[in-house]
Amino acid sequence: MLVLRSLEEPRRFARACRARGERVGLVPTMGYLHEGHLSLIREAKRRARRVVVTLFVNPTQFGAGEDLDRYPRDLERDRALCEAEGADALFTPEARDMYPPSHATRVNVSGTLTSGLCGAKRPGHFAGVATVVTKLFNLCEPDVAVFGQKDAQQAAVIKRVTADLDLPVEIVVAPIVRERDGLAMSSRNVYLSPEERAQAPVLKRSLDAAAALYRGGERRSRVIVEAARSHIGSAPLAKVDYMEMVDAGSLAPVDVLEGPALLAVAVYFGKTRLIDNTLLPDDGVM
């Protein structure tokens, strides 16, 4: 597996692959990889002959007081995991190269895709996401890029950017990968204390309760969300940041479910913020 560090290397790699008629897949990550990330690499390998994994803790998507400095990092562990999964290249740029002092451009997506859910309390977050992913697409020139359903709002934003800017990249959203007790895999799970970790699977139980109501014929968002919130309330260490029902395409709030919808939740356990979601009907990914 190649380890690419300069901004010129991934483009050269992609063009050499394409000259041989090989499709290139991309899996953007911030590192500290877990089984969820590895499942994205496998999905990319199913769709492309060559796979590039990017490992970059993007400073522009962290706000003041967020966990940029303490975000977990372990480059050698991540390198070994990528190589074991058969990735062909690992791109690990430096922040000073991605964002030199002269860097003055941001990619902003307006409207309901970014104004609600995580965007409501993390101003600038999705501009940081959209900017870095656009840069990675330009640097790595993939044919296909794979993202996870756990970060559903991020995936929706990236789909919009790709469509609006006519970027020649196929966007694939892969299912959420969970621990045996239902907790969605996340690099931030390592922050949880033993007591918080024991209570964290309440997120999945709350989503399951909502899905059961939907399957039983309930279509009123208020009723479904209140039922899910009541399950969160059974975990004394959980503090709900938001729990909202939105249209699965536009992410606009919906009162009555008449088409595919996304129930999204963000919960604090101490200082650790976890997100999760489910589609209704729960029969796939975005």
Instruction: Note the pLDDT tens digit of each residue in 133-186.
Output: 999 999 999 999 999 999 999 999 999 999 999 999 999 999 999 999 999 999
CA-CA distance, 286 to 261, in Å (whole number)?
10
What domains appear along the chain, each with residue ranges and CATH number? Answer: 2-174 (3.40.50.620), 187-277 (3.30.1300.10)
Residue 34 annotated among the catalytic residues of the structure: no
pLDDT at residue 242 greater than cutoff 80: yes
Beta strands 272-280 and 261-269: pairing type? antiparallel
pLDDT at residue 13 greater than cutoff 90: yes
Average pLDDT in the 192-201 region? 98
Q: Exposure pattern of 112-140 as b/e (b: 16+ CB <10 Å)? A: bbbebbbbeebebbbbbbbbbbbbbbebb
Point out the catalytic residue in the list 34, 37, 103, 231.
37
pLDDT at residue 229 greater than cutoff 80: yes
pLDDT in tens, 64-82: 878 788 888 999 999 999 9
Residue 63's pLDDT is 86
pLDDT in tens, 127-148: 999 999 999 999 999 999 999 9
CA-CA distance, 174 to 264, in Å (whole number)?
16
Residues 109 and 134: beta-carbon distance below 8 Å: no
Residue 284's pLDDT is 66
pTM (predicted TM-score)? 0.95
Residue 67's pLDDT is 79
pLDDT at residue 285 greater than cutoff 80: no
pLDDT at residue 283 greater than cutoff 80: no
Task: Please report, rounded to a whole number, the percentage of residues in the chain having pLDDT higher than 90.
Answer: 94
pLDDT at residue 286 greater than cutoff 80: no
